[in-house]
């Protein structure tokens, strides 16, 4: 991986330290170029005409995403964010009263709320898989929970929004497959940060976003649905892109995963997502993941030695999202202090509102979140810490 080139492609790193990749990363130059060019094309030709000219590039977005996660292009839907992509899969599942959804304590509130809604509307049951002694999903507990044949779905994030463990998703996928239970993976914080291979994981559905570790534009995401499942899953919403009108009384839903899309979209952002995926592929996801883990490990180690700071990440394998609390300062105070003119360091705060179960369990209201990018230089990664 050419760190120097990465930094040249990300000019803002000369002025600031952006440790908010779990929020929204800095887009690299090739992504910005593709999007700017398309907006200029729209301005000079018209929106539809510009899209027509880019039809091959637009098709290529599906191929690039497929390559990134080891799926086929027809198993990909490009949707405006991870939440809506996830919703399209989840709400389309034919869950019946009494069906059980298994999730992890690290579940994102944006996914947990839909569980509660279907609990109210359809009478599904939510069960939370306990953590093991390392703070990640207990595989033995999951195995036992899968003995109940009312379990219809396992649904959890590979990496939570508030840091914590990288969940053992391949083992979870293997257990799901063995039990004949669907597995919906929220890979929002994983895609672009770590290798995600849907064949190895064995998940049936996966939702992700463009703007975080993948470094694509905001307002873009995607959904993967395994081909054999896709045609049995009727999208909760349909339009004239997802389906076609055959007669005045009949419509036909398209066969591929684009049945979960809708017609109008931000074409420049879609092309930007494709460029971000290609950028990540060109660098190699595995070396990126190694580097991110190395930098995050270094930061955690440095934090441990500084009085007042408590690192908060659990799990055997940890991600690039480093979370911590400070004895005397709130997360908002730290965020403001670090963002100050001299330091210009972007970190964020993650509160119990995003991951209520996990935060309650750990008796935390908030954590500071420094989500490290691959562009960081090691000597810079702790220059901001009080000595």
Please report, as ranges, the residues that interact with ligand PLP according to CB under 6 A: 81-83, 108, 110, 157, 160-161, 186, 188-189, 209, 221
The whole-angstrom separation of Cα 101 and Cα 117 is 13
Q: How far is the CB of 159 from ligand PLP (least distance, A)?
A: 7
Q: Mark 148-172 as b/e (b = at least 16 C-beta within 10 Å).
A: eeebbbbbbbbbbbbbbbbbbbeeb
Between 193 and 325, CB nearer to ligand PLP: 193
CA–CA separation, 275 vs 297, rounded Å? 29
The b-or-e profile of 332-344 (16+ CB within 10 A means b, else e) is eebbebbeeeeee
- State the minimum distance, in angstroms, from the CB of residue 354 to ligand PLP: 7
User: Least Å distance between CB 110 and ligand PLP?
Assistant: 5
Q: Residue 110: which of 93, 127, 130, 90 has the closest Cα?
A: 90
Least distance CB 31 / ligand PLP (angstroms): 16
- In the bound complex, what is the minimum distance in angstroms from residue 365's beta carbon to ligand PLP? 18
Do the beta carbons of residue 215 and residue 13 sit within 8 Å?
no
Closer residue to ligand PLP, CB minimum distance, 54 or 131: 131
Closest approach of ligand PLP to the CB of residue 22, in Å: 7
**H or E segment to which residue 367 belongs:** strand 366-371
CA nearest to 222, candidates 65, 346, 70: 65
Please state, in angstroms and rounded to a whole number, the distance separating the CA atoms of residues 11 and 30.
Answer: 12
Nearest to 200, CA basis, from 155, 170, 223, 229: 170
Beta carbon nearer to ligand PLP, 7 or 361: 361
Query: Residue for token digits 């996928």?
Result: 173
Least Å distance, CB 121 to ligand PLP, is: 21
Nearer to ligand PLP, 82 or 288 (CB): 82
Which DSSP helix (H) or strand (E) runs through 332?
Answer: helix 331-339
Is the CB of 254 or the CB of 261 nearer to ligand PLP?
261
Return the number of the residue (84 or 227) whose C-beta is nearest ligand PLP.
84
Minimum distance of ligand PLP from residue 84's CB (angstroms) = 7
Q: What is the 3-state secondary structure (H, E, C) of 99-162?
A: CEEEECCCCCHHHHHHHHHHHHHHCCEEEECCECCCCCECHHHHHHHCCCCCEEEEEEECEECC
Between helix 109-122 and helix 82-92 the angle, nearest 10°, is: 20
Minimum distance between the CB of residue 320 and ligand PLP, rounded to whole angstroms? 13
Pick the closer one to ligand PLP by CB: 109 or 339: 109
Closest CB to ligand PLP among 6 and 135?
Answer: 135
- When the beta carbons of 47 and 110 are compared against ligand PLP, the nearer one is 110
C-beta neighbour count of 322 within 10 angstroms: 28
């Amino acid at each position: 991986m050419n760190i120097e080139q990465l930094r040249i492609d990300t000019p803002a790193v000369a002025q600031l330290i952006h440790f908010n990749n779990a929020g929204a990363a800095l887009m690299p130059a090739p992504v910005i170029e593709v999007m700017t060019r398309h907006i200029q094309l729209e301005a000079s030709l018209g929106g539809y005409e510009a899209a027509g000219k880019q039809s091959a590039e637009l098709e290529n977005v599906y191929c690039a995403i497929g390559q990134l996660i080891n799926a086929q292009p027809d198993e990909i839907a490009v949707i405006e964010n991870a939440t809506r992509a996830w919703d399209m899969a989840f709400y389309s599942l034919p869950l019946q009263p009494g069906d059980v959804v298994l999730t992890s304590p690290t579940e994102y509130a944006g996914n947990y709320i839909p569980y509660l809604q279907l609990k109210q509307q359809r009478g599904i049951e939510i069960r939370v898989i306990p953590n093991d002694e390392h703070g990640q999903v207990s595989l033995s507990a999951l195995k036992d929970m899968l003995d109940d044949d009312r379990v219809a779905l396992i649904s959890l994030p590979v990496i939570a929004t508030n840091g914590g463990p990288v969940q053992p998703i391949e083992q979870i996928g293997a257990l799901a497959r063995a039990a004949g239970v669907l597995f919906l993976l929220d890979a929002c914080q994983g895609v672009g940060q770590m290798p995600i291979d849907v064949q190895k994981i064995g998940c049936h559905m996966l939702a992700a976003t463009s703007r975080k570790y993948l470094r694509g534009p905001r307002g873009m995401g995607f959904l993967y649905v395994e081909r054999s499942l896709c045609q049995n899953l009727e999208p909760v919403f349909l339009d004239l892109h997802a389906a076609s009108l055959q007669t005045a009384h009949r419509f036909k839903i398209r066969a591929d995963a684009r049945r979960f899309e809708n017609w109008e979209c931000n074409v420049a952002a879609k092309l930007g997502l494709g460029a971000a995926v290609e950028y990540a592929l060109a660098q190699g996801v595995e070396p990126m993941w190694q580097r991110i883990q190395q930098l995050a490990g270094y930061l955690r180690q440095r934090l441990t030695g500084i009085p007042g700071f408590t690192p908060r990440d659990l799990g055997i394998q940890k991600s690039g999202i480093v979370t911590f609390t400070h004895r005397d300062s709130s997360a908002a105070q730290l965020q403001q202090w670090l963002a100050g003119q001299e330091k210009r360091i972007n970190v964020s705060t993650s509160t119990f509102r995003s991951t209520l179960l996990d935060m309650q369990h750990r008796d935390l209201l908030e954590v500071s979140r420094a989500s490290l990018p691959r562009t960081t230089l090691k000597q810079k990664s702790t220059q901001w810490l009080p000595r």
